[in-house]
Amino acid sequence: MQERLSQIKHKIMVLSGKGGVGKSSVAVNLAISLALQGRKVGLLDVDIHGPSIPTMLNLTGGAISVDGQNLIPLEFGSVKVMSIGFLLKSPDDPIIWRGPMKMNVIRQFLKDVEWGDLDYLIIDAPPGTGDEPLSVCELIGTLDGAVIVTTPQNLAFADVKKSINFCHTLKLPVLGVIENMSGFVCPHCGETTNIFSAGGGESLAEDYGVPFLGRIPLDPNIRIAGDEGTPFVHANAASRATVAFAAIVESIIEKIEIPIAPETKASDANNGKEKKMKIAIPLAEGKLCMHFGHCETFALIDVETGETPILSMEEVIPPPHEPGLLPRWLGEKGVNVIIAGGMGQRALSLFQEQGIEVSVGAPMVPPLELVNAYLSKTLQTGTNACDH
């Protein structure tokens, strides 16, 4: 299995604690949008009891071929697709399995399917936090993260919150929240009406300190495309929903593929002399704040690479939030290193112009713990958790 998985650069699971939010539709269109960006993509449907990917891609009735011990996935264009639906005699056959059986078939999908070299494997999980997503996490070990799908109304939030907490419990990075069915787009005049309200997904993401990836409008053509087995982004290139999917995919690519910061060199000698630094860390309630531009305070810590590395620490209140202000303000404070949970590419560029090194993806822990880990080169960083 590890040999097979080593050929896949990035693995992303699409989750939702609640059914009926359009999670599979989002998974399909994310996979196709990534392929349209030139990436080699696989789509794995691990919804054992209600596989819908075959219908959405017009692959119902397709038969899996076998090459030795390898299962050959079906293809939609350049996207390789695997689903339990391809192994049923009839799409109406029920799957009456307990947890161990489901884990075994997911293991087979990961170990025996000839995925080949992929840039992305998109994994469509069923609603909830049960056997299937847990099996994926246990079998793969390390995923790049999860995309959480919700709809705008409060009724969906209680279950979606469980998905976010599921990720936190398993230390699975949350790449972001997508608000699906966010406003009905009239097919005649193009006007948007917020049938289910709006902004709930963004508010949820902010409450949990995770990125907000964007809104997908409620377009009747999305339903039609799914029923006809044609991915929406293929058939409706100019629609608002397709533009939204493209922006979300660009954000995911940016978070996963673009190297964020150079390797830390805090302990390197500076012509044989001790090196002094001022490290800035955004804080909320005494720990690292994941929202860099909206933190309560900044910890400014003077350090040097000597026997007593930490010289002093003070907390300062940042100026009112304004685009482009923090790089200049922190530069004037003498900061030359920043440790953050996440940061947008524009801010990263501005800090680089100031000669300030940025390390992102840091965990939500107290500042001195982060500094000690940074100086000892043991700072564990993950995905750039930014929603801007």
pLDDT tens, position by position, 45-99 = 998 887 889 989 989 877 788 888 889 999 998 999 999 888 877 666 777 777 6
Distance from C-alpha of 140 to C-alpha of 344, rounded to nearest angstrom: 29
Contact indicator for 52, 58 with CB cutoff of 8 Å: no
- Amino acid at site 255: K
Pick 39 or 21 by higher pLDDT.
39
What is the pLDDT averaged over residues 247-256?
A: 89
**DSSP three-state, residue 6:** coil
What is the pLDDT averaged over residues 263-281?
A: 59
Residue 72 has what pLDDT?
A: 93
Residue 8 has what pLDDT?
A: 94
**DSSP three-state, residue 153:** coil
Distance from C-alpha of 359 to C-alpha of 337, rounded to nearest angstrom: 8
**DSSP three-state, residue 90:** coil
Distance from C-alpha of 317 to C-alpha of 59, rounded to nearest angstrom: 57
pLDDT tens, position by position, 16-31 = 877 778 889 999 999 9
pLDDT tens, position by position, 167-217 = 989 889 999 999 988 877 676 776 767 766 666 788 888 888 889 999 898
Distance from C-alpha of 178 to C-alpha of 201, rounded to nearest angstrom: 7
Count of residues in the chain: 388
Domain(s) labelled CATH 3.40.50.300 in the chain stretch across 2-257
Distance from C-alpha of 339 to C-alpha of 81, rounded to nearest angstrom: 39
Phi, psi of 299 (to 5 degrees): -85, 125
**DSSP three-state, residue 321:** coil
For 2-257, the fitting CATH number among 3.40.50.300, 3.40.50.620, 3.40.1120.10, 3.50.50.60 is 3.40.50.300
Distance from C-alpha of 388 to C-alpha of 379, rounded to nearest angstrom: 24
Residue 272 has what pLDDT?
A: 43
Give the CA radius of gyration of the chain: 23
Phi, psi of 101 (to 5 degrees): -65, -40
**DSSP three-state, residue 57:** coil
Burial class (CB in 10 A: 0-12, 13-18, 19+), 68: exposed
Domain(s) labelled CATH 3.30.420.130 in the chain stretch across 276-375
% residues pLDDT > 70 (the chain): 86
This prediction has a pTM of 0.64
Instruction: Inform me whether the pLDDT recorded for 271 exceeds 50.
Output: no
Q: Class assignment of domain 276-375?
A: alpha beta
